[in-house]
Each structure stands twice: as structure tokens, then as C-alpha cells.
Structure 1
Amino acid sequence: MGLRHLRYFVAIGEELNFTRAAERLHIAQPPLSQQIRQLEEELGVTLLQRNSRPVRRTEAGELFLARARVLLASLDDAVADTRRVGRGQAGKLAIGFVGSAMFAGLPDIVGAYRDEHPDVALVLDEMLAADIAEALRRRRIDVGIARPALLPEAGLAQRLILEEPYVAALPRAHPLAARSDIALGELSDDAFVLYPARPEPSVTSLIVTACQAAGFTPRLAQEVLHLQTAIGLIAAGVGVSLVPKAAARAQSGRGVAYVPLTAPAVVAPLTIAWREEDASPAVQRLLEIATRWRAIAPGHA
């Protein structure tokens, strides 16, 4: 028994006329009659009473028609869903992201993706940049939004989303808090609240490199995993730090002063990363949206 038999029987079972059913199926009547007889022989039951006008379904035929309709509808749904997943219009997309991406880039990109592909389930997971690389390698996520950029690695690709300046985050009582701008070297005597330096890549390495270029190595006051924790500790006077400008704008009014840095600028690159061999339409659509966003992002690209 094949799908052809089911489709043929549904047609004759609904039309109750071999001529009309054959026209509906775009086949000749004799092959249709032959296929229905083969189906009855395989089932060992009579599905249609042919000696009546119109043709009548037997009790077994009634049951088989109902079940055949369900099977064919389920198959049609499976085909349609499979095609939608194949086009990136359905399915699931797992995204790993660094916390600071929530302040610039990620909400707009995810929002645009949801608008364009509402039937794709997005699974979002906050993690450090090094964890993003590992999660991509192990296929726990499909796409990563990383800061800083991931280390070059065979099999992984990445693209710049934006570059934004870091600003100094100081306790409100800090002597430099009221300044319109400061040089990074002026923070040489302060202790810093930083993220873990290992594993690489890490924002801390980027900050340490900038500080060393300014003539000092930052002294660690406290190591934290999340931006919100860093902001709380800075407000409490534990130390100072550098944060992306967009994050600073979103965190105003929490006992922290955000002061621009004079040249040379320290920048916070945000990238989107994926497995180079991943041709998934869902991933490609997200990359397209991220590229579009970068082109229009005010003051970031």
C-alpha cells in the first residue's frame, strides 16, 4: 500500500463517482478502478459498494476514509513544516551572547529576526566570549554574539557588528567623576573591577592592553562575571572599570559616573560568530539582519 492508494481512495470516497474522481486526480478511470481493487485486496475488505448509484462507502470504507484523510493531512503538514524549516522560516535557533550585547545590537537584531520569522524559536544564553567559542565548537549554539572578537580558529567565522568606545566607570565620589573627559593614564592609581582574564578571549585582556599602552598595569580590586555586578561594586567604591558606551547610557543613575576617555580611543568590538560550514537558512537570515543593522546603527559602525 502506498500514498497513491490513499489519495485515490480519498478522491473516490469523497466524490462517490469514479468518473469525477478520475477527473479530479487527472488520471483515466480504468487505472483508478484497478488501484482501488488492489487496495481492497490488500486490506481484505470491501471499501465501496459499486452496484449502487451513487457509489456508497461500506462501514469499513467510512473508517478508512477518515483515517486516510488524517494521514494525508499529517503528511502535508510534515512536508510544509519541513520546507519552512529548510527555508529558515521555522525551527529553533540557539544564540549565545555576552551580557554587554544587550545594550547595543542584540535587542534590535533579535527583535527584527522575530518580526521576520515569528515561527522560529530563539533560545538565548548569556555567556563569556570564550564560552561562546566552545559552545559553537560543541554545537550547543548556532550563533554567538561576542565581545571581544573570538580568537581566529579553523571552522569558525565571525563578522564585526559594531565598534563603540569604552568609557571610564567611576564611583560618584571619585575625584575625576565630574570631569568632561579623562586620559586613561589618570586611573593608574585606582584598583579595577574586571572580568576573568582567562580563558581567552576576554574583555580584561583588551582593557589591560590599553592600560599598558597608557603606561601602567591595572591593579585588580575584584573579579566579576557580569556587568551588573561590576556596576554595583563600582557604585560601592570598590574600584573603577571601563565599560562600553551603550552600556554606560543604560546604567545611569546607579551611583556611577561615566566619563569619556581622551584619545587614543579604547574600543569595544562586538562580533557575530558562527560555524563556517553551517549553511542553515535560519543562521544565514540572522547574519543578514545583523549586517543590515550594522549599516544603519547610529554612531556605532
Structure 2
Amino acid sequence: MELRQLRYFIEVAERQHVTEAAENLNVAQSAVSYQITKLEEELGVKLLERVGRNIKVTQIGHIFLQYVISALKTIDEAKEKVDEYLDPQAGTIKIGYPTSLARYWLPNVISAFRKDVPNVNFHLRQGSYAYLIDAVKNGEIDLAFLGPVPMKDPDLKSKILFMENIVALLPSHHPLADRKSLSLGDLRNDPFVLFPKGYVLRGIAVGACREAGFEPNIASEGEDMDALKGLVSAGIGVSLLPESTFYDSIPRFTVKVAIETPKATRSVGIIIPKHREIAPSEKNFYQFLIEFFDRLDRYK
């Protein structure tokens, strides 16, 4: 069984046409047919069958196809890792991130890193808190930014890069909009707009309200940061969000106000797998992040 036979099989199975597959592979149609026939003879089953001018994948062919796609994906990823070891200044780093870090911190750190290492590529994947943790564990991504940082997971190596405050976002016509700071208890009678149940930032917001002595009245929910800011802009309610999400701008018709008591914060950092070695390019980026935020902390 040869790799080219498996690649030919995938191409024909997906296109359901030998001629089109051969043209895309830039090889002769007879070569494709011959290699697939050899593959079927070795396996002792028919993977493909002709239906008129087209090709249909047999039932066992569909099962074999899924395993072949997975196997070749693993082989291609393995080759990428070998290339990265040969040249740590190149390669592709697969990074996961939540929506709350997408607009400010992620672009800034990647831009700063690429000034020193311009040949490294980044593959970015946004996802939920739980998805990012699972994706790092199963190798779908190499590392992930998270806030808050899970410090007790036995399968992860976690590093806190900085702590940030949670602030109140109020409609500009709110009675407390002219305040520089407020007590969270001052908002006990306001409707809140928060993330849905299961989102970490909702848990932080609800926990802060409970510490202030009340259960928030959640009037609306939004699944991303821009949706929540838009709801506040529309006067639907108030929200509690990480301060860094306002570094670039504050939405129209809203006001950001610091929370004096109780202080609500979250840790922000990076996670990598504890039981799987990461490639040199990923180690370089991981170390860069630690040094980058250490410098920021020293110059505060």
C-alpha cells in the first residue's frame, strides 16, 4: 500500500470521476485507475464502482475513506513538525483564542513576534473555553489563549500572563454614566446583558454580582462581545466585561465605568499540552509571550 495510491483514491472518491481526479492530480487517467486497482487487489475489496460515466464509493469504500483521510492528515502534520524542527524560524503555529482576546491582545502579540520571526505562519482558531482546552489536549491546536487560565488541569501546562479588571459598560443615558467608578451593588436594580449559561465570562459576572449581595436580572444574552456591546448601546441593559476589550474603542452610546467594590478580575494566559512535546517554533512563541508580558508588567 503506497501513499500515492491512497491520495489517488481520496481524489477519485471526492470527485466521483476518474478523469477529473487525474486532471487535478496532473497524472494520466490510466495511472490513477491502475494504482486504485492495485490498492483494491491488496485489500481484497472493491472500493469504487462505476455508475454510468461517474464513480460511486462502495459501502466499505466509505469506511476506508474516512480512515485514509485521517491517516494522511496525521502524516502531513508529522511532516510539518519535522520541517519545524529543521527550521525553528519557520513553520506554522496553530493558536486558539476566545472572542474576548481577539481584537486587541492577539493581533498585538502576533505582530510583535513576526517582527523578529517573519517566516513563521499562524493558523488561528476561535472557540469556546471548553473547546480550546479540548483542542490543545487532542493536538488540534498547539496552544491557546484563555481567560481565566485553568491552573489545575493535570493535562495542561498553564501560564498566567497578566491579570485584568472586569468593568461595567453602561448606556450613556444611565444615571451613573458620569461616575469614574461605582460599587457593583449600585446596579442591583438594572437589567443585565450577559453571555449565555456555560460561558466563563457569564460565570465571572454573576459571581461578582453575588459577592455584591444580589442576583443579576439577566434581560438579554449575546454569544459574542460585539453582540453584548450592541445590546448595551441600544439601552437594553448593563454588562460586565474585561477591560482589555475596550482598549481600541468604546461603543457608541455607552460608557465604561470602573468597579470599585467588589473588585472583579480575571487571569489571562496561555495553555500548552503537558504530556506532548511542542515544536521549536511553538516553544519560541511561548517563551516570547512570557517575556513580552513580563516587559509590559515592568513598565506599568
Per the shorter chain, which TM-score range?
0.5 to 0.7
Contact kept in structure 2, 1:89 and 1:119, CA below 8 Å? yes
Q: CA separation in 1, counterparts of 2:138 and 2:263? A: 36
Partner of 2:258: 260
How do 1:213-292 residues align onto structure 2 when only pairs under 5 Å count?
Answer: 213-276=211-274, 277-292=276-291
**Letter paired with 2:91:** G
Q: CA separation in 1, counterparts of 2:299 and 2:146? A: 16
Describe the SS at the equivalent of 2:175. coil
**Letter paired with 1:182:** L
Q: CA RMSD of the aligned region, Å?
A: 2.3
Q: CA separation in 2, counterparts of 1:257 and 1:136? A: 37
**Letter paired with 1:176:** L
Q: CA separation in 1, counterparts of 2:253 and 2:297? A: 27
Alpha-carbon shift at residue 170 of structure 1 (Å): 0.6
Alpha-carbon shift at residue 155 of structure 1 (Å): 1.4
Identify unmatched segments of 5+ residues in structure 1: 1-78
Partner of 2:63: none
Partner of 1:99: 99
Contact kept in structure 1, 2:167 and 2:241, CA below 8 Å? yes
Q: CA separation in 1, counterparts of 2:229 and 2:297? A: 25
Partner of 2:169: 169
Alpha-carbon shift at residue 226 of structure 1 (Å): 0.9
How do 1:65-84 residues align onto structure 2 when only pairs under 5 Å count?
Answer: 82=82
Contact kept in structure 2, 1:112 and 1:289, CA below 8 Å? no
Partner of 1:63: none
Alpha-carbon shift at residue 143 of structure 1 (Å): 0.8
Q: CA separation in 1, counterparts of 2:122 and 2:220? A: 34
Partner of 2:127: 127
Q: Moved runs in structure 1, 4+ residues, more than 4 A?
A: 81-84, 298-301
Partner of 1:138: 138
Q: How many residues align?
A: 220
**Letter paired with 2:286:** L
**Letter paired with 1:106:** L
Partner of 1:31: none
Alpha-carbon shift at residue 249 of structure 1 (Å): 3.3
**Letter paired with 1:184:** L
Describe the SS at the equivalent of 1:182. strand
**Letter paired with 2:212:** A
How do 1:1-150 residues align onto structure 2 when only pairs under 5 Å count?
Answer: 82=82, 85-150=85-150
**Letter paired with 2:131:** D
Give deviations 1:34-63, integer Å, cap 9, x for gaps: xxxxxxxxxxxxxxxxxxxxxxxxxxxxxx
Partner of 1:207: 205
Alpha-carbon shift at residue 88 of structure 1 (Å): 2.3
Contact kept in structure 1, 2:147 and 2:269, CA below 8 Å? yes
Alpha-carbon shift at residue 241 of structure 1 (Å): 0.8
Q: CA separation in 1, counterparts of 2:278 and 2:104? A: 26
Q: CA separation in 1, counterparts of 2:147 and 2:82? A: 35
Q: CA separation in 2, counterparts of 1:300 and 1:96? A: 28
Q: Does 1:154 align with 2:154?
A: yes
Rg larger in 1 or in 2?
1
Structure 2 length-normalised TM: 0.67
Q: Give aligned-pair identity as a percent.
A: 27
Describe the SS at the equivalent of 2:181. coil
Give deviations 1:216-261, integer Å, cap 9, x for gaps: 1112122212111110111001111112222223232511110111
Q: CA separation in 1, counterparts of 2:229 and 2:253? A: 9
Contact kept in structure 2, 1:167 and 1:248, CA below 8 Å? no
Identify unmatched segments of 5+ residues in structure 2: 1-78
